[in-house]
Chains A and B, each alone.
Chain A
Amino acid sequence: MEGAAEPGNLAGVRHIILVLSGKGGVGKSTVSTELALALRHAGKKVGILDVDLCGPSIPRMLGAQGRAVHQCDRGWAPVFLDREQSISLMSVGFLLEKPDEAVVWRGPKKNALIKQFVSDVAWGELDYLVVDTPPGTSDEHMAAIEALRPYQPLGALVVTTPQAVSVGDVRRELTFCRKTGLRVMGVVENMSGFTCPHCAECTSVFSRGGGEELAQLAGVPFLGSVPLDPALMRSLEEGHDFIQEFPGSPAFAALTSIAQKILDATPACLP
C-alpha cells in the first residue's frame, strides 16, 4: 500500500455540495436525496454523505436501511444503491447494530467520525458529492467544513421553510457560511404551500414568502420553492425514487428545476 503519495479518497470527486439549514425539520435530507436523484437522472454519478449522526435519515429515504458497510483496501466502501453504481451513500445509520440505537456522543467523538467519513470512504469517481448535515452551526458543521476545505466545495445549498421561525435560524446559518468562507449557491424554500387534494385550494400551511425574502436580504440566489407534496412524502417514507416515479407531481417541477440550476452553476471540468 502506498504511503503519503497516495491521493485521498476524495480525489475523484469533482464537485462537493453541502446542504445546510440553521433549522431542523425543513427538509435538508429531502432536498439532499431528491437533488442526488435528479442529478443521477441527468446522467451524473452522485454520492451522498450523511453527517447527521444523531438523526441519520438518508438510508430510509433511499430504501437502504439495514445495508452493511464493507471494508476495501482504501477504507470503507460506500453503499451502492443501484447495479450501475451511479448513486452511493455513507451514513452512520449503516454502522448501528440496531436501527433504534441512539448515538449519544459529545462533540469530539462526532468530529472524529466525520473526519473518517471524509477521508476513509472510497468514493471513487463522482461528479457530485452531496453532504447532508444536521440542523445547527456546531461540531458536525465545523468538522465537515474543515475536512472538506482542501477539496474546495462548490458551495452550500441552504434550506428553509417559509415561516419566520425558520428564517430566523437560517439567517444565522448564512452568517456561518460567510464566516467559514463557504459560498452559498442559493436558498431553497421547502414546504411552500399545500394543495388540498379534495378541492385544490392552496393553503400556506407554514406561512409564506420567507425563503425569497431571505435570499434577497442576504444577496444570494433564490433557487426555488418546493410545495408540500403527499407523493414526495410517501416516496421518502418508502424509499422510492420520486423523480422517476412521479414526474407529474407538484414537487417534481421545483426539484428538477433546482437540480438544473446546480448543473448550470457547476463550472466545466478539464477532462
Chain B
Amino acid sequence: MEEVPHDCPGADSPQAGRGASCQGCPNQRLCASGAGATPDPAIEEIKEKMKTVKHKILVLSGKGGVGKSTFSAHLARGLAEDENTQIALLDIDICGPSIPKIMGLEGEQVHQSGSGWSPVYVEDNLGVMSVGFLLSSPDDAVIWRGPKKNGMIKQFLRDVDWGEVDYLIVDTPPGTSDEHLSVVQYLAAAHIDGAVIITTPQEVSLQDVRKEINFCRKVKLPIIGVVENMSGFICPKCKKESQIFPPTTGGAELMCQDLEVPLLGRVPLDPLIGIQEFCNLHQSKEENLISS
C-alpha cells in the first residue's frame, strides 16, 4: 500500500477500485474485488480477548512532548496502589516507546506462553507491554510504515495475555494517524470508555489538541476530559511561580469551555519528574492526578 493516488476513494468505499483515480493504482484489483469492504477478523478476536478487560482508557494528544507517557505511567501506578485492582499499561508508540524507561523496565524482554505474550509485570497487579521490550538495543530504530505499525498494534491487542484487568490504559504517540485509527478500529467492537487528552498551556499545543478533540468526535470516541500539564513552574529557590509555557490564548481552560469538554486538572512542571524517570524511583505524583 505504498503508492496510492491522491484522490483515492478509500479501500472500503463502494467506489474502491472502480473510481477514475483508481486507474494505475497497484491496489486497484484488490479493491475492486471487494476485499477492503470485509471487516478484519481480528476485530472480533480482539473483542473476545477484551472481555476480561473492564475499562479501556486511551491517553491522547495531537501534540508531542506534552506528557502523555508520563501521565499514563503515573495514572497506571496510581490505580495500582489498590492491590485489589489489576492494571494494564499498553504503549502503542511504535517509533518512540517511552513507557519502559519511565516505568523502570528498560532491558526487560517479552516472553511467550501458551496463552500468548506475557506482559512485563512491574508490580503483581501492574502489567506493561511496549514495542520497547521487543528491541534488543537502545539504539534500535523501528523504521516502519503505517501498515506494519498497524499489524503490531493488532498483535498487542489480540495476542497479549492480559488476563483479568480492571483498567487498560493505552499510551499513544502524538498525532491523528495510523496508530490512532488502528487502535480505535480494532477496539471498535470492544467498547472504549473514553480518551484523556493531554496538553500544555500554550497555543502551539492547543492548536494540535483541538484537532485531536475533533478526531475523537469524528471517530465517536468519548472524551473523558483534558489534563493541562506543565502548567506553571515554582522556582525551587524563591518559590515564585513563572509560566514557562504561557497560556497566551487562555490555556486549556478556555479551550475546554469553547469545545465543551471537561478540564480534569492541571499539573505543574516539576524537575523531579525528569530525575525520577532517570533514576527509576517508584514514587509517583498520582495523588494530584487521581483527585482531579
Contacts and interface: CB of A to CB of B under 8 A. Distances in A.
Contacts of B243: 230
A104 B176 contact: yes
Interface in A159-201: 161-166, 168-169, 171-176, 179-180, 194, 196-199, 201
B144 A60 contact: no
Q: Is the interface of B mostly helix, strand, loop or mixed?
A: loop
Residue in A22, A24, A99, A103 whose Cβ sees the most chain B Cβ within 10 Å: A24
A194 B240 CA distance: 13
Interface in A194-215: 194, 196-199, 201, 203-207
Nearest to B175: A54
Contacts of B200: 25
B269 interface: yes
B244 A230 contact: yes
B65 A103 contact: no
A107 B5 contact: no
Given A112-B5, A163-B274, A100 B175 contact: no
Chain B interface size range:
35 or more
Given A112-B6, A165-B102, A207 B274 contact: yes
Contacts of B269: 205
Given A136-B95, A203-B236, A233-B245, A104 B177 contact: yes
Nearest to A228: B244
A110 interface: yes
A245 interface: no
Given A107-B145, A168-B138, A201 B236 contact: yes
A141 B146 CA distance: 12
A137 B141 contact: yes
A106 B4 CA distance: 11
A139 B218 CA distance: 23
7 contacts: A54-B177, A106-B177, A108-B4, A136-B96, A163-B278, A164-B278, A205-B271
Q: Which 7 A-B pairs have the closest CB atoms?
A: A25-B65, A24-B64, A107-B146, A108-B4, A136-B95, A207-B274, A54-B175
Interface of B: 1-6, 8, 62-66, 69, 94-96, 98, 101-102, 138-147, 149, 173-178, 180-181, 200, 202-204, 207-208, 210-215, 218-219, 233, 235-238, 240, 242-246, 248-249, 269, 271, 274-275, 277-278
